Chain A
Amino acid sequence: MSSTAAVGTPSGLRLPRWAAPAGAAALIVAAYLVFRGTGTLPHDKEAPQFLAVTELREWIDEHRNDNPLFLYFLNYIRLFVGSLYDLFAGALTALGWPGLTGVLGGLAWLAGGRRVGLLAVAGVSAFGVLGLWQSSVDTLALVAVAVLLSLVIGVPIGVWAGRSERVRRAVTPVLDVMQIMPTFAYLAPLALFFHIGAPAGAIATMIYSIPPAIRITALAVSEVSPTAVEASASLGATRRQTLFKVVLPLARPTIALAVNQTIMMALSMVVIANLIAAPGLGGDIIRGLSRAQVGIMLPAGVAVVVMAIVLDRMTTALARRGPHTRPRRIDLAAAGALAVAGLALIPVLPRAWPESWTLDVTAEINAAVRWAETSWYPVTTFVKDQTSLLLLNPLESLLTSAPWWLVALTVLAVAWRVSGPRAALTALGCLLAIALLGTWEHAMQTMTTVALAVLVTLVIGLLLGVAAARSPRYSAVQRPLLDAAQTMPAFVYLLPALALFETTRFTAIFASVIYAVPPVVRLVEDGIRAVPAEVVEAAVSAGSTPGQLLWKVQLPMARRAILLAANQGIVMTLAMVVVGGLVGAGALGYDVVVGFSQRTDFGLGFVAGVATVLLGVMLDRITQGADRRPSPQRRKST
């Protein structure tokens, strides 16, 4: 971008650089003032588009038991996944807590040595201590099934995509949709095709967790050095031999990362999967929500976080290990001893976690939350009211009262300027599709909250990221907090948020900020750290103060990372649109919830889900020009 300034027109008449954007902005403002209130597209709950989708749903529902697609295909998938789940749940339950602790501890020790091994033992025990043994086992089984299916299907597709540019280009948009589509929006269709229960839950989880398996495997395979492949080919290896003997072993550490990310995604889906009657920790969380008690939800949330941390450390340790290092003999012995000890104890100890060993802190947590609610309330209401008054309401009325064509033109102009013609046309296409789908007004309202949430996320993310980049000690303190914020199911912090900010759009913004800040902080921190040390030294020796160093050197040089952070902030915020609909954000998020809850509004919910995806793609295209597309493992790195 900076080069455009230098290549000014040589002619005599030279406008300042800001003249064109300023002129365009003035034109848009003038057009808005003239045409305000005309050409708006108000929301119609019974638009023909919605009704058509609802009818289609009814038709499919009626033919579920005589349509060959169901009889010979979908129902078998359901049966297969159901048996697989029963197999896993049965095996894990049969192990009981002594066996599971021993076996998982042993595996963890094998993967990452003593520290990870002990962490796993402590983690598995924590499920019992929290009083959530059975739910945790069910969740573990569900995650195991989803991850297994994701890898069995995803890794081959990933390998293929890594070796063929054409396949990669065909697969990428599908994966984008799978990731931006609100999970709620495909629960209802899934229940239609696979009914409710554990199999449907496992399939829903798999849909959400398969994209990283494909993306990262493709990246791993495409990054294998071409010389190695050539050398292998020139030695007379067949394509098959090259793939299995050269490419895959070299790509192994990155593929291990794919496994890691797949597990993390699956874990973040288990709560939502409970809404279609999948068993596990999600049930405890939803129960806490319906009783308005954080004390019930928090332990279950902590169990999810603990599970994520244990599995993350295990798979990361595997990924870090070189392709040919074997575990030391002493580690093998220790791991084996742990597993055998656990298995040997199965007949001795009760299989269910003894109730006297659990710790019930429900009442204490509830009391603490209540205290915070009552004593912070005056401050939080003030913040909420001012934000709504000064930012949310004006922006929302601006977007909803502007004619649709003016909004479209503005989007086109901004996207063109930032990201070039191709991206601009895609963005425009998405916006027009939203209008055609009949969700314009709600999309504009959703855009308001998303815009503000992204803004807040960026401000907080920049502050924390800069602080972490400057002080390694602070960074170390902050890291586990970020881990927890990212893996803690969002439902858990909805209740305190509701109590502090009531059922408002602000509550939704608050929740999505918590969810979206961690990756932004990480990207900013990485970006500033990546500024070469020589540059920093040169600036310091030239006499820069720390403030000057930050503003004149570090931030400008980290610009790309910061823009990528903004892009990620948008994607993450959109993922929270539906959760926001549960606490008062209304608009598209609520439509999706309505569609999920009422059969007659199925179409509305489904279309709102599609509109959310379109909104996501549009915002992504507008901002992507600032930086090329994010690399896949950064999309949702933990």
Chain B
Amino acid sequence: MKIRLLAGLLALGMAAAGCGGATVESSPSASAGAPQGGSSSSAGTVKIAINPWVGYEASANVVAYLLKNELGYTVELPEIKEQLAWEGFENGSVDVIIENWGHPDLKKTFIEDKKVAVEAGSTGNKGVIGWYIPKWMADKYPDITDSKNLNKYADLFKTSESGDKGQLLFGDPSYVSNEDALIKNLKLNFKVVVGGSEAALIKGAQQAQEQQKPLLFYFWDPHWLFNKTQLVRVNLPAYTEGCDADPKKVACDYPEMDLDKIVSKKFADTGGKAYELVKNFHWTNEDQNAVANDMTNNGMTGEQAAKKWVEANTATWQAWIPK
């Protein structure tokens, strides 16, 4: 601790001593004080941002566990929302975003323009965004899973918030979304009701299945909720290359996304073995859901769940460890 404080003061002094003002990169560590003084024996510190959904946390914890126990790094896991985490690349408060969903605009800003971040390859996870209904609805109305028939059932989905149209429940505004355009271009008699958070979606889905209540909502896979609640995807017109090029004219389903990893430029250049491990990390949706499910529904901490997975899947992660 003392060392860090000294380092902070030193940085301040150095910056004041005529390096022409302070830039954000020279700031002291921005995240939580590591418990019991980061001892000098460790190989270094890696900061993996925790974006606020459990699947992400599962990946981050497994990587963190291996960094700590196999390579001897200290790992910090600051909790930051998606877009803000990218800004963390700039000032060194974030080294790694372990699960990135698309975001071409951010890639342009931070990778191409500012050159503070680089791509570090696929996570192996396939991201599928779509419209879902509780399973009981698909059983009762077999043709409802085709979006062409949605208007026939619009009345079922009416709520106190959607007026005389059916409700399509949406989540956190930071998500990738074409909902408004889809409703308009597919001429659906629906209205997007904004939940505002992932919690709003999960609670809604759980209740819809348990209480046999109609619900149409935006959701995504991989997600631990699929281990707990039965959901069925509604088929929108199939995705074809480029059909989502103009955000206002989208009339097709979301593409399957190859989730990838983004790291800061500095980490890619100087991260050594830690960077190698992050780059090699590659697993499946089932792997992630298993860890996420342990964390959410079996009362385990991220570290415990990661340990359980690591112990059961030695062959998988052995390949990630740099020689």
Contacts and interface: CB of A to CB of B under 8 A. Distances in A.
A600 B11 CA distance: 34
Interface in B65-108: 78-84, 87-88, 90-91, 93, 105-106
Contacts of B60: none
Interface stretch (B23-31, B147-155, B279-287, B312-320): B23-31
Interface in B37-86: 37, 52-54, 57, 78-84
A318 interface: no
Interface stretch (A69-77, A337-345, A479-487, A514-522): A69-77
Contacts of A581: 194, 196
A290 interface: yes
Contacts of B88: 195-197, 277
Interface stretch (B129-137, B201-209, B257-265): B201-209
A594 B79 CA distance: 19
A277 B21 contact: no
A374 B83 CA distance: 36
B161 A504 contact: yes
**Max chain A CB contacts within 10 Å: which of B8, B29, B194, B296?**
B194
Contacts of B109: 599
A503 B9 contact: no
A287 B198 CA distance: 11
A196 B30 contact: yes
A71 B91 contact: no
Contacts of B35: 93, 134, 352
Contact of B210 (A196, A374, A597, A601): A374
A351 interface: yes
A93 B36 contact: yes
A153 B194 CA distance: 40
B256 interface: no
Given A86-B5, A90-B1, A197-B31, A292 B196 contact: no
8 contacts: A71-B23, A78-B24, A196-B93, A279-B33, A503-B169, A506-B160, A583-B197, A599-B109
Interface residues of B, number: 71
Interface residues of A, number: 82
Contacts of A141: 33
A198 B12 contact: no
A336 to B, nearest CB: 26
Contacts of A274: 79
A83 B8 contact: yes
Interface stretch (A110-118, A383-391, A532-540, A543-551): A383-391
A437 to B, nearest CB: 20
A433 interface: no
Contacts of B28: 79, 82-83, 86
B27 A75 contact: yes
Contact of A65 (B23, B172, B193): B23
Among A292, A377, A598, the one with the most B-chain Cβ atoms within 10 Å of its Cβ is A292
Contacts of B82: 597
B164 to A, nearest CB: 11
**Chain A interface mostly:** helix
Contacts of B91: 195-197
A79 B12 contact: yes
Contacts of B57: 287
Contact of B79 (A195, A277, A362, A589): A277
Interface stretch (A9-17, A303-311, A494-502): A494-502
A535 to B, nearest CB: 46
Given A582-B197, A597-B82, A83 B9 contact: yes
Contact of A195 (B78, B87, B200, B299): B87
Contacts of B210: 374
A83 B196 CA distance: 35
Nearest to A280: B32
A64 B114 CA distance: 12
A593 interface: yes
Interface in A121-148: 134, 137-138, 141
A76 B161 contact: no
A196 B160 contact: no
Nearest to A496: B203
